[in-house]
């Protein structure tokens, strides 16, 4: 029978970059977190939710992931992360990772491949559409707005193509209708499960699916253009 520990868990969130630095460099890190595990446990926590630790250019506080299978060097090494997981488990603390899979960083290899050629197999990993012609101008495919203000579409170079970003332009939305994207994500989740991670908190889970076909949103009360 599978344990449903999360039903009664007392979760303590750790934002790694500012939580505790082990070397006084101004950035929190794995060793710094380890030094505070007894404190967290003694507060009554039974699980720790870690905000993103992945490799990231940090346009959005680590929520723009450029490598899902790497720990950002400012937080330490993968070996130090493995040690952190072991230390948590010795104190009966479950490990929850933030999983940001609505979008990737535009510095992720998938996105770089996607925009390298219209024929790239990674093109369909993202939501890329032709712009509309308005006079002498090329305008976005729809009027969808970014959560971070402005259009949710960014033009790809001087082409007529745009990619969707419901957040900042450095966060390209993934195409969850593509089964290859789903397989990639299953592989990523299994990678962390094999490292001993106990569960995940999925960032903006409600935005993975989009409204198709993509067209202008005419509703007046939409919280997010394009959100289902």
Three-state secondary structure string covering 133-190: EECCEEECCCCCECCCCCECEEECCCCCEEEECCCCCCEEEECCCCHHHHHHHHHHHH
Residue 228's pLDDT is 46
Q: What is the mean pLDDT of residues 107-123?
A: 97
Please state which architecture CATH assigns to domain 105-173.
Alpha-Beta Complex (3.90)
Would you call the peptide bond into 213 cis, given omega within 30 degrees of 0 as the criterion?
Answer: yes
DSSP letter, residue 207: G
**Where are the domains positioned within the chain?**
8-103+177-207, 105-173
When comparing pLDDT for 4 and 82, which is higher?
A: 82
pLDDT class for 226, splitting at 50, 70, 90? Answer: low
Q: Does pTM top 0.75 for this prediction?
A: yes
> What is the CATH number assigned to the segment(s) 8-103+177-207?
3.20.20.80
Q: What is the pLDDT of residues 53-94, one digit of tens each?
A: 999 999 999 999 999 999 999 999 999 999 999 999 999 999
């Amino acid at each position: 029978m599978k344990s449903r520990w999360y039903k009664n868990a007392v979760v303590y969130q750790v934002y790694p970059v500012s939580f505790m630095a082990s070397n006084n460099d101004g950035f929190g890190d794995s060793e710094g977190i380890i030094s505070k595990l007894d404190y967290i446990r003694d507060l009554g926590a039974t699980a720790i939710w870690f905000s993103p630790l992945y490799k990231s250019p940090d346009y959005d506080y680590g929520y723009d992931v450029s490598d899902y299978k790497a720990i950002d060097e400012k937080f330490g090494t993968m070996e130090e992360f493995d040690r952190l997981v072991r230390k948590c488990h010795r104190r009966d603390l479950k490990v929850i990772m933030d999983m940001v899979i609505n979008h990737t960083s535009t510095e992720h290899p998938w996105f770089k491949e996607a925009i390298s050629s219209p024929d790239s197999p990674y093109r369909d990993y993202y939501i890329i559409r032709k712009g509309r012609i308005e006079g002498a101008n090329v305008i976005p495919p729809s009027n969808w707005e970014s959560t971070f203000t402005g259009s949710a579409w960014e033009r790809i170079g001087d082409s007529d193509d745009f990619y969707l970003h419901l957040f900042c332009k450095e966060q390209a939305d993934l195409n969850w209708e593509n089964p290859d994207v789903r397989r990639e994500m299953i592989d990523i989740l299994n990678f962390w499960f094999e490292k001993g991670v106990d569960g995940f908190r999925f960032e903006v889970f409600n935005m993975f699916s989009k409204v198709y076909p993509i067209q202008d949103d005419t509703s007046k009360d939409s919280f997010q253009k394009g959100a289902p």
